[in-house]
Amino acid sequence: MAQNAKKNVILIHPKVHQASGYCQVPLGILAVAGPLEQAGYGLVLVDAMVDADYKEKVLNALDGAICVGFSCMTGYQIQDGLAIAKLVREKDPGIRMVWGGWHACVAPEQTISHPLVDIVVSGQGETAMAEITRSLEGGLPLDGIKGIYYKENGKVIKNAERPYEDINGFPPMPYHLVDIEKYLIKGDELGDRVINYISSRGCPFQCGFCAEFKVNKRKWGALTAERVVAELAALAGAYKIDGIIFNDSNFFVDKNRVEAISRGLLEKNVNIKWGKANGHTRHLLNYSDELWRLMYKSGLRSILIGAESGSQGVLDLIKKDCTVEDIERLAVLCKRFGVRIWYSFILGMCPDRLTDGFTQTLDLIKKVKTIDPASEVLVFSYVAYPGTPLFERARSMGLPQPETLEGWAGFILDNTKCSLAEKKYQADLEPLIDFYLPLAYRLNAIRIRMHNSLLKSLLFTFFHELALFRCAHNIFFFRWEWYLYKHLGRRFKVLN
């Protein structure tokens, strides 16, 4: 990553998964870097996803740095973050380490209690990190900085909460601080020079498994349509971007803003495709035919929907605020307007197949794939994240929760052991989530990875047809291909 001459603040995005693989521009550390850059601080941004010698880079930058910031989601990122933090502490025992990002937000008390964490930012990081840096640089106390936890003489101090700030007051994401070429997604449904962007934060819904509830407290704040159009035009111009993935938790909350963005893109001749934009089924069913046509004309090619389950009981338990029929209606609507849906489903919310709506979920997957074979299906295992509305339910059902920061490293959405499925059901879910469902229904993403090898393509076609047959008829006994994959395929990173 690029680095300025004056090295004052180091911001680290640790590895998201153990194997290198799919990555995007780390907007969390870029967002925090914006106000620091504006205030004149030098920056060293290190992204372990793209920098091969990232540990060395961090250690080399320590000389003269004010502090080191870490950005972590729950999961493997914590493990890598702690490994880097340990090296930092060994080389420079006095430097303060600041932890932010989703995990620090959902479990701030446990995070601050770790010996390798000095300050935790819980919530938006832009202003908080600028204030922390100023205080550390000037040797000033941290007691007036809202939204942080810190240690003083070994004691943990929690400051007052930081009120939600309007993101229009923050500078544009400083994409120039990273080497964009390393992040371009090629051969994507949206183009060959595709990157990610975020236009809003938060979500007004309160799905029981989702951390949004704790982090953004059901608030939703967005950049104005004018600003979004101007920033997308600038990105397209500066880096020849032809596709934009929206990282918003809920892009479609404000219909008028979406309409103004679509019109703006057309009026300013911003020639990009845009998509994978997250939306709520109920919101999208309220969009008029004219608006769907306008969005398509301006470049919309796909949306992302948290469909979650084919069982109304599970949808109600989650408080998804929509019905199974709504999901089917949206599938038909999007097919009509040429917009692909990426569906996200969760299994393992309940202990057994019946209460978890296993068969109904599989049926719904088959149904939406019949409506539009080009749609994509992602299936995850339920993980009870701290701070989510259904976290206590999971605890009361006996799911052990880690008592240390390290313990959360194994909490990833493809680890069925973190779900509420009882042992027998868990054993059935693992091959489905890890192998059969992606192979049968996540076609385009895998095909892109196979396109340069005839052998891989042939193998893929064979196993795809087999997986499709098994899923279509619910036949999952004698799973020889799963065992083959488990022992051989994973090593070659065939599916993930």
Q: Which one of residues 58, 413, 467, 471 is an interface residue with ligand B12 (CB under 6 A)?
A: 413
- Kindly state the smallest distance separating residue 211's Cβ from ligand SF4, in Å: 8
Partner touching 250 among ligand B12, ligand SF4, none, CB below 5 to 8 Å by kind: ligand SF4
Residues 6+ apart with CB under 8 A from 396: none
Q: Which one of residues 74, 262, 302, 361 is an interface residue with ligand B12 (CB under 6 A)?
A: 74
Q: Would you say 80 or 242 has its CB closer to ligand B12?
A: 80
- Kindly state the smallest distance separating residue 183's Cβ from ligand B12, in Å: 9
- Kindly state the smallest distance separating residue 162's Cβ from ligand B12, in Å: 10
CA proximity to 61, closest of 48, 78, 42, 34: 42
Alpha-carbon separation of residue 264 from 24, 246, 338 (angstroms): 25, 16, 21
What residues pair up with 340 in beta bridges, in sequence order? Answer: 302
CA angle 272, 275, 280 (to 5 degrees): 145
Partner touching 467 among ligand B12, ligand SF4, none, CB below 5 to 8 Å by kind: none
Question: 123-152: which residues touch ligand B12 (CB under 6 A)?
Answer: 124-126, 128-129
Question: 200-239: which residues touch ligand SF4 (CB under 6 A)?
Answer: 203, 205-207, 210, 212
Partner touching 205 among ligand B12, ligand SF4, none, CB below 5 to 8 Å by kind: ligand SF4
Alpha-carbon separation of residue 237 from 183, 193, 225, 242, 281 (angstroms): 16, 12, 18, 10, 33
Q: Which of the stretches 64-72, 218-226, 255-263, 418-426 binds ligand B12 when contact is defined by CB under 6 A?
A: 64-72
| Distance separating alpha carbons of residues 187 and 353, to the nearest angstrom | 37
Question: 273-292: which residues touch ligand SF4 (CB under 6 A)?
Answer: 280
Partner touching 103 among ligand B12, ligand SF4, none, CB below 5 to 8 Å by kind: ligand B12
Q: Which of the stretches 156-164, 199-207, 325-333, 390-398 binds ligand SF4 when contact is defined by CB under 6 A?
A: 199-207
Question: 351-380: which residues touch ligand B12 (CB under 6 A)?
Answer: 380
Q: Would you say 37 or 126 has its CB closer to ligand B12?
A: 126
| Tokens (6 digits) for 317 | 């338990």
Q: Which one of residues 111, 127, 216, 249 is an interface residue with ligand SF4 (CB under 6 A)?
A: 249
- Kindly state the smallest distance separating residue 371's Cβ from ligand SF4, in Å: 22
- Kindly state the smallest distance separating residue 445's Cβ from ligand B12, in Å: 11
Q: Would you say 16 or 223 has its CB closer to ligand B12?
A: 16
Q: Which of the stretches 101-109, 257-265, 432-440, 443-451 binds ligand B12 when contact is defined by CB under 6 A?
A: 101-109
Alpha-carbon separation of residue 480 from 417, 437, 486 (angstroms): 22, 16, 10
Q: Would you say 46 or 294 has its CB closer to ligand B12?
A: 46
| Distance separating alpha carbons of residues 318 and 314, to the nearest angstrom | 6
Please report whether residue 315 would count as binding ligand SF4 according to CB under 6 A.
Answer: no
Please report whether residue 250 would count as binding ligand SF4 according to CB under 6 A.
Answer: yes
Q: Which one of residues 51, 212, 356, 434 is an interface residue with ligand B12 (CB under 6 A)?
A: 212
Residues 6+ apart with CB under 8 A from 275: 189, 190, 243, 244, 245, 246, 300, 301, 302, 303, 339, 340
Exposure string (b/e) for 286-321, b if CB count within 10 Å is 16 or more?
Answer: ebeeebbebbeebbbbbbbbbbbbbbeebbebbebb
Total residues interacting with ligand B12, rule: CB under 6 A: 44
Q: Would you say 83 or 333 has its CB closer to ligand B12?
A: 83
- Kindly state the smallest distance separating residue 285's Cβ from ligand SF4, in Å: 14
Q: Which one of residues 295, 365, 412, 495 is an interface residue with ligand B12 (CB under 6 A)?
A: 412
Please report whether residue 198 would count as binding ligand B12 according to CB under 6 A.
Answer: yes
Q: Would you say 49 or 330 has its CB closer to ligand B12?
A: 49
Partner touching 29 among ligand B12, ligand SF4, none, CB below 5 to 8 Å by kind: ligand B12
Q: Which one of residues 26, 243, 264, 351 is an interface residue with ligand B12 (CB under 6 A)?
A: 26
Residues contributing to the site for ligand SF4 (CB under 6 A) = 203, 205-207, 210, 212, 249-250, 280, 306
